[in-house]
Structure 1
Amino acid sequence: MTVFDKPLSRRMVLKAGSALAGGALLPAGLVLPALAADHPALGTYPAGSSGDSVFVGVSVPRTGTYAAAGEDLIKGYELALEHLNAGHELMHKISPNIKKGVLGKTVKHGVADSEAKPNTAVQALSKFISENKAVMMTGSVSSAEAVADNKLAEREKVIYLPGITGSNDTTGKDCVRYSFRECFYAETAAKAIAPVLIKNLGKNKKIAFLTPDYTYGHTVRQSMEEHLKAGGWTVATNQISPLGTTDFSSYLLNVANSGADVVININFGRDAVLSIKQAKDFGIIGKMKLAVPYISPFLAKEVGPEIMEGVFAATDYWWTLEDKYPLAKMFNAAFRAKYNYNPEWGANLAYMQIAMWADAVERAKSFYPPDVIKAYEAGFKVQSTVGEVWFRGADHQLVRPVVIIRAKKASDMKGADDYYDVVDVVAGEGLMQAPDAFGCKLGDYV
């Protein structure tokens, strides 16, 4: 029986500590194991990490309006886990303490279809906890599912790493101690792109918003409206549509009659594709400029460069950043070798979430959730595919840049995936609100 098979009593630990304090010496070269065994059972600890492998549960939409983004995330997760278990050079550059696996344990995983529905996502992750003793959960494309998963993580005391989630609320009023977000979000997207829009499209413009009716859509709209005020921009109309809308004609008719100069489309996934194509059919695109503050992976490919030409957007990552960041070049090369095309931002996000989790666990030297959380909260700076990044301890939001892109003319594309020019890479720290500005109050560790 190892020290990890049965928790040590607190009395035993205190006695051991007293002996050391009293001058007892360890034999030369002997290293005591971490006293993680003294921790009480919590969440899936220690059962989930007692063997030679650990399990992580992935829940992303594989059907419905956000399915393409979900599949993109899966590719990033699977490449990361492959690299982690092999001790790949790229993974080692982000998480320098790893060898193969995490703390010497192979990382296994399972994937479930969340359908971008909060209840379905929670059911899937709950099953991973109960049946597989998952030590970590990850995934989401809808912020509604991310917020629901946050609450599950807090209740079950299992760490959750959101996938794509743009709402301010995820690390704002719905933040929890057990969740850490990698991606940019409404406030940082708006603060990064608003000056670009004002500079390039002019002052005193009238906006028509196309807004999906849930936490992501509403917080992006609020942040965009707030930051565009600096240029005298005002709202002509805000058209709110249910998630999964297929016919946007009634909303677009109101946009066409609004007198707006610029359409700011906040829809994501298939909703973004359909609403933009239908806006073109309505004659709106051409008469009004289009901007996308939170762009979907594959949007330009699915809509086409003829419609997207000149459109400004904000994103987490674009593959041509390999010219600026060495780790982006390594990531792109590995992704292309496995999947035969250039990675989108969801895949990069997923890879980074796995790598930074491995780094936090290795620095904690334990899978005990509060120890891992405190390793995250220490603000340790990590080398990433977009430069140096770190998590804020106060709200568990990654401090990372926002990438501003502009869609190219079809004639300017140098290859099949060359849809955008990178206009700017805006440093993250100056884009972020005070940690408590959106109501974040982290819960207890135990």
Structure 2
Amino acid sequence: MFLGARGGACREQAKKAEACRGLAGPVRSSFRGRKEPLECQDMVVQNALYTGDLEQVQRHFSERAEVNLTILAKSHDDLRWTSHKWGLWSLTYKEELTTPLHITASRGFVDCLRHLLLRGADVDLAPGGQTALHVACTAAQADCARLLLSFGADPEAVSEDGWKPLHLCQSPESLQCARLLLCHGATVNSPTEEEEDTPLHRAARLGLVEHVRLLLSYGASLEARNGEGQSPLNAACAQSHPAQAMEDYFKVCQQLVAAGAQVNSTDHDRQRPLHQACKNANPRVVELLLAHGANVNIMSYSGNMAMHNILQAAAYKTDHQPEQAVRDLLNHGAVRIWPGALLKVLRHCCASPRTIEALLNSYEHVRVTEEWADAVPAELVQMHPRFFQSLFALGQRPRSLKHLARCALRSCLEGNILRALPELGLPPPLQQFLLLRFEDVLY
């Protein structure tokens, strides 16, 4: 059933050789304990492994030579062009090399995996570029990872792509795998070869709250920089995420900041966490960074300040409630938009009326013309009639005395309103009005 990598038949299995055929060339492996593996394309053997049929696995894999065979698998999610004789090219499925150990470890078949290991399977064999421990961690199979480590699997093995098993703990379910790796000596600050991401970069970018907590408890570096110059806090803030993941990213950033991460750290493009959090419209992260001293008006290399980024994102991230970030920036002294550009902002941000409300309530007077009514689609006016009617009416009447008093007081405080507010002795409703409370109407 099994043939050698260079075509030599195993004497013990000669009668079954016609069931499999050898693959051209030796299998690559840069890991310790390298052996020339056997190679197999027998679907009966593969089915036993992929279904976790212990009885069949015990039947087919009884000797060391058999348990270390290499299996050719096709990745049906990855098509590629391949060349053939006469210079023709065709689109085929990518072929991958794997082993019985990899298959069983990635699918959580612990009993099959144990049988293979007891029969002498090479625990660090990596014909496809990854060890079985890599694939177990990728699949979050903690029991398999524990078994592999108990048989001496190297927690520091580097894949063909330059990743260690700890870098591949990339799902909430892989937390126990990460814990096992660290307990067995995995390096907490080891970077990937190309991206130079540490495990903390990976966990922060993916919004893995418990992974971040675990890595910090093992001394993960808060200021390690990857190939883009990002710290883990930069990486977390720079990652785009849906509205339902905002709380996880907030908790990740909260942990990093509480541990001492620099809130004004910059990447190679001089992007700071606040720039990136605004670009991704996460208002709770914006509030967190501002409360810990993030510079509200500093520019990136592109010339954008945080306010520019949140206004650019507001139109297509309305479910993130970008208006809250706009309000927080204004209350922390963000430079206001040039009044002549407000019509352009209205055209872009009219899908988020509260964003427009916060901006306009930071000015004493705004020159509203007929162009403003033309800038808002009719369907949006129908969805928010009270707000837009009050907006368009500003072209015929002045702002209310209460609003003018608010603007006068905010102007006197010059960006120090949050520090001064507790000393003013104002009742809570008036404090909230001063801080640009949303009312869905303009007075």
Using structure 1 for the length normalisation, give the TM-score: 0.23
Structure with the higher fraction of residues in helix conformation: 2
Q: Is the strand fraction higher in 1 or 2?
A: 1
**Relative contact order, higher structure (CA 8 A, sep 6+):** 1
What TM-score, normalized by structure 2, do the two folds share?
A: 0.23
